[in-house]
Amino acid sequence: MAAGDRILSLDGGGIRGLIMLEILDAIEKEAGKPIKDLFDWIGGTSTGGIVALGIATDKTLDTIKGIYNNMKGKVFKGKTPYDSAQIKEQCKQNFGTSVMGDIKHPKILVTGVLGDHSPWKLHMFRSYTDGYEPEAEGFWSTQPPKKQLIWEVARSTSAAPIFFHPYRQYFDGGLLSNNPTLDILTEIHKFNTGPTSQGLNLILGKRLDQAEV
């Protein structure tokens, strides 16, 4: 029997994404392969979205850890809201001019929230277009993958209202989907490739707040 889709779901959680990266590092070492090669779909929200984008753009986990440590020193300082211009600059520096359509494997989903809708609406940034027509669901990027800059996706998914100003019409995806697992599964169902084997779901958002570290 052929294996089903392998799914990695990465929660929001701010700078605690560093703990998420340590877990991914342990998985990668145990498997003996890059995380990118272990999954068919990777979805993320907020800090998990940035990690997903880093993995998808061939950054090593150590490189992504470096990005977080750099942000911790340059972005997350002083009083809130933090400097939105600084996080925008960090996203640009780390993802450059690459677009979502440049990502060929795995398929990437990153959540955002459309703040110009009433009520607010979940939004999915995708790295692909095949399989079905998401536009019919009203569930589609304002830019197609071949035009959607990755740094803008990173900036959008991390736009938590208390900490940063929105990016254009986008707010942090964690406002509606801090754990994006169900949205990923729904997406795969729509894509007509329903998973037939267990995936990996890392829940490092709210539950992490309740853990003793």
CB-CB contact of 206 with 196 (8 Å):
no
Residues 6+ apart with CB under 8 A from 209: 13
46 catalytic per annotation: yes
- Considering 46, 156, 158, 177, which one is annotated as catalytic? 46
Between CA 66 and CA 123 the distance in angstroms is 28
Q: Read off the tokens for 130.
A: 């095949």
* CA distances, 130 to each of 5, 50, 150 (Å): 16, 23, 19
172 catalytic per annotation: yes
Between CA 81 and CA 116 the distance in angstroms is 20
- Considering 5, 11, 172, 183, which one is annotated as catalytic? 172
* CA distances, 50 to each of 20, 45, 79, 106, 174 (Å): 12, 8, 23, 15, 13
Q: Which residues are annotated as catalytic?
A: 46, 172
